[in-house]
Amino acid sequence: MKTNLPLDADRLWADVMALADITDPARPYTRRSFTALFLEGRAWLARRFAEAGLMTRIDAAGNLIGRIEGTDPALGVIAIGSHSDTVPSGGRFDGIAGVAAGLEIVRALRDAGMRLAHTIEIVDFLAEEPSEYGLSCVGSRGMTGALDESMLALTESGGETLRDALRRVGGTPDELDRAKRDDVRAFLELHIEQGIVLESRSLDVGIVTSIVGIRRIEIVFEGEADHAGTTPMSLRRDALVAAADTVKSIRRIAERLAAEGPDYFVATVGILAVDPSASNIVPGRCRLIVDIRTTDPVLTARFADAIDRESTAHAHAARVARASFRTLSDGPPVACDAGLRDALRLGARDLGLGQMDLPSGAGHDAAFMSRICPSAMVFVPCLKGKSHTPKEWADREAIAAGAAVIYQAVKTLDRSLPQIRSQGAS
């Protein structure tokens, strides 16, 4: 592992650990988007941005953005970022490492007395993880024009709409057109791999080739809540039976599609809510969400058709209604930009780091950013590939090495990006 990196590994690490400490103490590490803890983490980040000399704002889509003007602002923006929200009982590095890396890169440029021609923006995207409203990547959808009215109308269990939640965190949902950017010339994101490839090959960084497409489907079954002791088996309309059979179908069909190859395919039911959820009540209602990921959208369509048919059949067999089968979100697979990947590859080589190309089975804000500008990612190894768990771990030197690769690439891109001058720098 390299040591003489062009940035301060300890300062970067201290930021990651300080942000990680802002967590639900009863359930480390949890800082769910839109919560008071999330806003506490945001306030801490905004202070660190300001201390680093960044002009800081919340855009209309609720993203926290720190900006340092370039010497030639008309050239537009090179953006670096990720997310500071976590999954429930998640890790300290997923997302956070990428935002902290961006901040350290700005400080390292400053410490080296370097002012780039392009403006640099560090972005903490709002709600990259699937939020309580059922939507992920809220901020990066907003920055890329992919956050629509139907999404803003989604509600969480207490009935608050995403629109109102966006307002609560400083966004202006009625002016989302102001969040959509046309002045970003490149986007780079550092992220832990959330897989075991880099660690197993003792490599320092991964240059991401593509990001999987993700579709999330909600299925609701409605039977009839009944007394668990007095209702004969033949008269029950048990919603959980239909849901459980559907989960088994999902697993079987996903395994079949994954085995077909060569494309990547996985599907998961991570949410299954039983209502009223009491040991002595036959479940009247059951809601599940399927998370589907693939590098080939045709497989997603085949899979969705198959579980549409099978969930209908399971509902019929359990004498319950399949009350809804709706797509909550659907993003296509994305190829990372070849030019940015070259700059990252060059940066890793110049730093003497071991590297490889590899695809991402995880979703990222970079997938949305690729809709408005060339985007690419650097992965750093994480312990045993674990993520979305408190066991998530990445070494201080690994995060610093990944940040240094982006630091090198940003300096290269500042000179090599096509000189697209925006009319009247924003």
Give the residue closest to ligand HGY by C-beta: 362
Q: Contacting ligand HGY (CB under 6 A), which of 135, 362, 377, 404? A: 362
Q: Is 363 among the residues that bind ligand HGY (CB under 6 A)?
A: yes
Contacting residues for 204 by C-beta, under 8 A, at least 6 apart: 1, 2, 198, 348, 353, 354, 355, 380, 381, 398, 401, 402
Instruction: Specify the residue, 314 or 364, whose C-beta has the smaller distance to ligand HGY.
Output: 364
Q: Is 183 among the residues that bind ligand HGY (CB under 6 A)?
A: no
Alpha-carbon distance 307 to 206, whole Å?
A: 35
Q: Element (H or E) spanning 78, and its range?
A: strand 77-83
Residues in the interface with ligand HGY (CB under 6 A) total: 6
Contacting residues for 54 by C-beta, under 8 A, at least 6 apart: 66, 67, 68, 103, 106, 122
State which of positions 86-105 bind ligand HGY (CB under 6 A).
Answer: 94
Contact at 8 Å (CB) between 191 and 97? yes
Residue 332: CB minimum distance to ligand HGY, A: 15
Tell me the two tokens of residue 44: 């801490």
Q: Is 126 among the residues that bind ligand HGY (CB under 6 A)?
A: no
Residue 38: CB minimum distance to ligand HGY, A: 15
* Cα atoms in the Cβ-side hemisphere of radius 13 Å centred on 82: 27
Q: Contacting ligand HGY (CB under 6 A), which of 121, 129, 132, 245? A: 129
Instruction: Specify the residue, 27 or 421, whose C-beta has the smaller distance to ligand HGY.
Output: 27
Residue 193: CB minimum distance to ligand HGY, A: 11
104 binds, among Mn ion, ligand HGY, none (CB under 5 to 8 A by kind): none
Instruction: Specify the residue, 129 or 132, whose C-beta has the smaller distance to ligand HGY.
Output: 129
363 binds, among Mn ion, ligand HGY, none (CB under 5 to 8 A by kind): ligand HGY
Q: Which residues bind Mn ion (CB under 5 A)?
A: 94-95
Alpha-carbon distance 82 to 15, whole Å?
A: 14
Tell me the two tokens of residue 190: 């550092």
15 binds, among Mn ion, ligand HGY, none (CB under 5 to 8 A by kind): none
Residue 362: CB minimum distance to ligand HGY, A: 3
Residue 292: CB minimum distance to ligand HGY, A: 12
Instruction: Specify the residue, 244 or 362, whose C-beta has the smaller distance to ligand HGY.
Output: 362
Residue 363: CB minimum distance to ligand HGY, A: 4
- Strand-by-strand arrangement of the 213-222 sheet: 265-275, 285-294, 213-222, 321-331
Instruction: Specify the residue, 199 or 291, whose C-beta has the smaller distance to Mn ion.
Output: 291
Residue 89: CB minimum distance to ligand HGY, A: 14
Q: Is 128 among the residues that bind ligand HGY (CB under 6 A)?
A: yes
Alpha-carbon distance 154 to 329, whole Å?
A: 11
Contact at 8 Å (CB) between 250 and 307? yes
Residue 368: CB minimum distance to ligand HGY, A: 12
- The window from 19-27, 128-136, 151-159, 370-378 that contacts ligand HGY (CB under 6 A) reads 128-136
Q: Element (H or E) spanning 260, and its range?
A: helix 239-260
C-beta contacts of 421-425 below 8 A and 24+ residues apart: 421/74, 421/75, 421/76, 422/74, 422/75, 422/76, 422/182, 422/183, 425/73, 425/74, 425/76, 425/119, 425/183
Q: Where are the alpha helices (DSSP H) in 52-185?
A: 96-111, 138-143, 149-152, 162-168
Q: Is 223 among the residues that bind ligand HGY (CB under 6 A)?
A: no
Instruction: Specify the residue, 94 or 414, whose C-beta has the smaller distance to ligand HGY.
Output: 94
Residue 403: CB minimum distance to ligand HGY, A: 19
